[in-house]
Structure 1
C-alpha cells in the first residue's frame, strides 16, 4: 500500500517528548532514531526542544544535525518555531517579536527544512514583512490551525493567508479539527478522574452535538471540573475539534501541509480512520502536494512507547489514505 504521488508521510520528533524529558539521550539523537529505525525519512522537529540557546541555537550544532540526518538518508520538512510575546511581563513590540523569530527562521534554513510552523494568527501584522525573509531563505511559513480553529471561528486569520497570495505562506491543517468522537483512553481518564457521569455519557455519545460544548463550558464556569483532570479537561475547549471536512472546503486551496494528529490507536469504530479518509478525499480533490505528518498528542495521559505508537499510526494512515485512492500514482510512504 502507498499514498498518492506528491504526498509525503512524515513523523514528528514531538512524539518522542517523554524520552526527551527523561534526558537519557539528547533531543537530536532521539529525533534521528525516527530515521534510523525506519519509521520515516522525513521528520518534523521543534526548535525549542532540539537545542539550547533558543531562540538562537548554535549554528554549528544545527548544521551538524543536518549532516547526520542527511547521512542517515533523512531530511527535515517543517520546524516548529514560536514567538515569545512577553519579556519579563512586558509585551514585546513588533520589532522585538521579529527579532525573536528571525534567528529561528535562519536555523530552520540551516537544518535544511522546507518551512517553519507557527500557530495561526500568532505572526499577525508581522506576516507581510516576513515574506521577503522567507523568500531569501527559501522557506514556507505554515500557519497551523487545529482543534476549534476553523475558518468560521477565525476568518481574519485565514483571510490574511489568502490575501498575501504567496507560496511562502501557507496553511497547515491539523486533523484534530475533524474528530467524530473523543479518544477512548481520554474518556477513560476523565471517568477515573471523577467527571460527572451525565457529562461523561454526553462526551462519549454526542461529541459533535453543540449542546455538548455548552455543557463542557458550563461545568468549567461553575467550578465543577475535578482537580485531578482539570488540565486534561481543557483539551475539550482547545485541542479537540468537532468540524467536518466540508467546513474546510473554502480554505483547502491554501493548504500546504497536514498534521495527522492522533491520541491513541483505538479505532474499533473508525474514529481515527474516518478523519483520515475524509481529509484524504478533500486533498485528492484539490490536487494537494505536501507533507502529512504523524503527530501523537496522547502522550499527555498515556505512557506507551512513542516509537511503536508512531509506527502503528503511520501504518494505519497509509491504509486509510491509499484505500481511498486506489488509482492514484504510487510512492513508498515508508521512505518519504
Structure 2
C-alpha cells in the first residue's frame, strides 16, 4: 500500500472501544492500549474522562504509567479529549474557575505525552487566549473540534477567534460528520425498527442534503411523533449528522491541525463513507496540512459490532483513500481538462 503524504498520521480513537469500557471486563487504559498492541494504530486518541475515575482531578502518576506502557508497545497518545464543566452544582463557573477546571486536565494530558487536547468548537471562548501560556509551558496544542452542523456559516465567530489568535497552540479539528452525502444505512434501519414514520425515513434516505429535509426533521420532532425508544437516536439528525460539502469549509482548512474520520457503519456501497474521506484528503493535500487523521466510530450507539475489527477495516479503507495525495498530484488532476 502506498504511503500517506509526509506529515500525515492515521490514528485510532479509544472512544471506539466504549462498549468494552462499559462492560468493565478490562480497565479503560488497558483497552486503549489494545489499539496499539493489536497493530491497529501507533497513535491513539483518548478521552480523559473515560480513562480514570479521578477525572477531572490530576492523575499524573497513572498518566505517566500509561505513557510508559504505550511507549513500550511502540505507541503514543496524539490528542486527548478534555472538557469544561460550566456549572459547579450551584452557579455558572467564572472564567477563572473554568481555567482552574481545565488546568489539571492539561497537565495530565502532558504527562500522557500527548501532542494536544480537544474541546468542542466555541466552548473555550476567552479561555483560548488565557490558556496560551499554559499550553506553551506544557508543549500542547488545543484543538477546537467542529462537527455536524457547526459549519463556518453557522458559527462564524468561533472560527474567527481561532484565526485571530493566529497561534500554532490553538488549531481547528474538523470532524467529517459535517460532510455526509447520505445517512448511514444502519441508522436508517434503526429508526425504522424504532417506529419512526416510514415517509420520513424514506425522505431521510433519498433527500438527506435537501434543505427541506432539515425542516421536516424539526417539524416531526415538534409534533411529538418521535417514538420514545428512539428519541435520543433521533437527535443525531440535529446535532451529529451534517449535510455540507467540502467547499463549505474550504476557507478554514488552513486552520486545521487534525481531522476526525468519523464513520458510523461500514456500508460503503455508494461511497457514502469513501467520498468525504477522499474529498478531505484532496483538499488537505493542497493546503500543506500536517497532523493526525483519526478513525472515530460513532455507530456503537446502535450497533453491536466488534470495535477492533470495525476500526481495523475503517483504517484500511482510509489509508487506501488518503495515500499519495500530494499537492502536485492534486493540482495536476484539477487542471486536467
TM-score range, shorter-chain basis?
over 0.9
Structure 1: how far apart are the matches of 2:64 and 2:86? 28
Aligned to 2:239: 238
Tell me by how many angstroms 1:57 deviates: 3.4
Structure 1: how far apart are the matches of 2:48 and 2:108? 8
Segments of structure 1 that go 5 or more residues without pairing to the other structure are: 329-336
Tell me by how many angstroms 1:324 deviates: 5.3
Structure-1-length-normalised TM-score: 0.96
Structure 2: how far apart are the matches of 1:324 and 1:4? 6
**2:169 is the counterpart of 1:168:** yes
Structure 1: how far apart are the matches of 2:324 and 2:75? 27
Aligned to 1:285: 286
- Partner SS for 1:143: strand
Aligned to 1:10: 11
Structure 2: how far apart are the matches of 1:89 and 1:274? 46
Q: 2:286, 2:327 within 8 Å by CA — same for their partners in 1?
A: no
- Partner SS for 2:145: strand
Aligned to 1:74: 75
Structure 2: how far apart are the matches of 1:276 and 1:124? 29
Structure 2: how far apart are the matches of 1:53 and 1:318? 36
**2:38 is the counterpart of 1:37:** yes
Tell me by how many angstroms 1:325 deviates: 5.4
Give deviations 1:163-218, integer Å, cap 9, x for gaps.
00000000000000000000000000001111111111110000000000000000
Q: 1:76, 1:114 within 8 Å by CA — same for their partners in 2?
A: yes
Q: 1:206, 1:212 within 8 Å by CA — same for their partners in 2?
A: yes
Aligned to 2:223: 222
Structure 1: how far apart are the matches of 2:10 and 2:128? 28
Aligned to 1:331: none
Give deviations 1:84-139, integer Å, cap 9, x for gaps.
11111421111111110000001111110000000001101111111111011110
How many matched pairs? 328
Aligned to 2:334: none
Larger mean Cα displacement after TM superposition, 161-170 or 2-11: 2-11
Aligned to 2:208: 207
Q: 1:51, 1:57 within 8 Å by CA — same for their partners in 2?
A: no
Aligned to 1:271: 272
**Which gives a bigger RCO, structure 1 or 2 (Cα 8 Å, sep 6+)?**
1
Structure 2: how far apart are the matches of 1:271 and 1:135? 40
Aligned to 1:154: 155
Structure 2: how far apart are the matches of 1:326 and 1:286? 8
Aligned to 1:334: none
- Partner SS for 1:148: coil
